[in-house]
Structure 1
Amino acid sequence: MDDYGAQLKVGMMFRNRDSFKQHIAMFAIAKKFCYCSVKSDPSMMILKCISSTCPWRVYATKLKDSEVFEMLAIPCSHAIAAALKAKINVEELVIDEYKLDSLNRAYEGIILPESASPVGVGMPSIVSDL
């Protein structure tokens, strides 16, 4: 826990609130941007980029009965831009639980594809190719 280098991913765990804040500060320095706190209390933090045109935000919350903070969401254009500049495959930034293979295994037998498309409604190729 905590030794993530200059990366952010949903599901990251930090020993405590201060550890989370320190990691975000180091990430911002490494990616060369500034952020501010939108909302902060002892159990959660919402941070955002200071640029009014940038959508970057990060959400973290304290786990129940623990000091551990978990990162919940990162709609992060900075990470994508930095990855593309560094010639990193953007899909590598997605944790395994959100990759198609993992989702297919998780829902196998629960959600079944329809055998035929309803009349007058075409099935998108992204669905039919699965």
Structure 2
Amino acid sequence: MTESVILDVAYEGDDLFVGRVFKNKHDCKVKIVVHAINRRFSYKNERSNYDLVVVRCVPDACPWRAYVARMEDSEYFQVRTATLVHSCPVDVRSQFHHQATTSVISEIMRSRYAGSGRGPNPIGVIRAMLQEHSVNMSYWKAWRARELAIESVKGSDADSYSLPAYLHLLKAANSGTVASI
């Protein structure tokens, strides 16, 4: 059981299916948004609490729905039941780009800021989101998403000046070292 959970968690695609496992609730919510953006539909949170996420398509008549619950004694969330077909007209689903918040865009773009490269500038983020996900956004939204992506990959500027943490690591690595502020 544990091995299958680990394999499911390693899957980074945007497909939803019964049995799909997410790393945590945040990962679950981001992957559902990316799923909706890529399939060009809007959904709303029907219910969400510490142990549960229930989402459904915006039109009440549409059967699309996903029920995701926390797995016992873990941070993992698993899709328990899902109806993944739409019966609503395409024009009703056209507001999908509203779900592309700065935090979601930063999660999508995060891999582009890993490593030693600088990653795309805000104009590059706008172009990438438009080409890959058909989402148009303002320069400000792209700039903020870029900053969040860089911070999640490389840490914040304030964190890099955390002297007490550095002194603790210095003492731990070199026994007998005395360091104080």
**1:74, 1:2 → 2: CA distance?**
21
Match of 1:45?
53
**1:11, 1:55 → 2: CA distance?**
19
**2:19, 2:50 → 1: CA distance?**
19
Shift of 1:53: 2.1
**2:14, 2:20 → 1: CA distance?**
12
One-letter identity of the residue aligned with 2:38? A
- The alignment status of 1:73 with 2:81, answered yes or no, reads yes
Shift of 1:7: 1.0
One-letter identity of the residue aligned with 1:8? L
**2:45, 2:17 → 1: CA distance?**
19
Shift of 1:47: 0.4
One-letter identity of the residue aligned with 2:48? S
**Greater mean alpha carbon deviation, residues 21-30 or residues 50-59:** 50-59
Structure whose alpha-carbon radius of gyration is higher: 2
- Across the two proteins, how many residue pairs are aligned to each other? 78
Match of 2:11?
3
Secondary structure of the residue aligned to 2:28 is helix
Shift of 1:64: 1.4
Q: Any idea what the Cα deviations from partners look like across 1:10-51, whole Å, max 9, x if unmatched?
A: 001111000000000000000000001111101011100001
Match of 2:28?
20
> Is the 1:2–1:19 Cα contact (8 Å) retained in structure 2?
no
The structure where strand makes up a greater share of residues is: 1
RCO higher in 1 or 2 (8 Å CA, sep ≥ 6)?
Answer: 1
Match of 1:110?
none
Q: Report the TM-score when normalising by structure 2.
A: 0.41
Mapping for residues 1-130 of structure 1, pairs under 5 Å: 1-78=9-86
Q: Which runs of 5+ in 1 are unaligned?
A: 79-130
**1:19, 1:25 → 2: CA distance?**
10
Identity %: 31
Q: CA RMSD in A?
A: 1.2
